Amino acid sequence: MRIGEVAAAAGVSPRSLRYYEERGLLTSVRSSSGQRHYAQDAVERVRWIQALYAAGLSSRAVAELLPCVHTGVATDAMLAGLSAERTRIDTQIRDLTSTRDRLDAVIAAANDHSRECAADRSASSTA
Amino acid sequence: MRIGEVAAAAGVSPRSLRYYEERGLLTSVRSSSGQRHYAQDAVERVRWIQALYAAGLSSRAVAELLPCVHTGVATDAMLAGLSAERTRIDTQIRDLTSTRDRLDAVIAAANDHSRECAADRSASSTA
DNA sequence: CCCACCTCTGACGTCAGCGTCAAGGCTCAG
DNA sequence: CTGAGCCTTGACGCTGACGTCAGAGGTGGG
The predicted pLDDT at position A70 comes to 84
Domain segments of chain B: what residues? 1-73, 74-127
The predicted pLDDT at position A42 comes to 96
Report residue A127's pLDDT band, with 50, 70 and 90 as the boundaries: low
Task: Please check the confidence at residue B70 and state whether its pLDDT lies above 90.
Answer: no
Report residue B56's pLDDT band, with 50, 70 and 90 as the boundaries: very high
A2 touches strand D (CB under 7 A): yes
B59 touches strand D (CB under 7 A): yes
- Report which DSSP code applies to A83: H
The answer to whether the Cβ–Cβ distance between B110 and A51 falls below 8 Å is no
DSSP 3-state assignment of A1?
Answer: coil
Share of chain B above pLDDT 90, in %: 77
CB atoms within 10 A of CB B37: 14
CATH of domain A1-71: 1.10.1660.10
Residues of chain A neighbouring B103 (CB-CB closer than 8 A): 69, 82, 85-86, 89
Report residue A77 CA to chain centroid gap. 23
Q: Which residue is nearest to nucleotide C20 (CA to C1')?
A: A15
User: CA-to-C1' distance for B35 and C7, Å?
Assistant: 7
Domain B1-73 has CATH 1.10.1660.10: yes
DSSP 3-state assignment of A127?
Answer: coil
CA distance A75 to chain B (A): 9
Average pLDDT value for chain B: 91
Report residue B47's pLDDT band, with 50, 70 and 90 as the boundaries: very high
- Span B82-125, pLDDT tens digits: 999 999 999 999 999 999 999 999 999 988 887 767 666 666 66
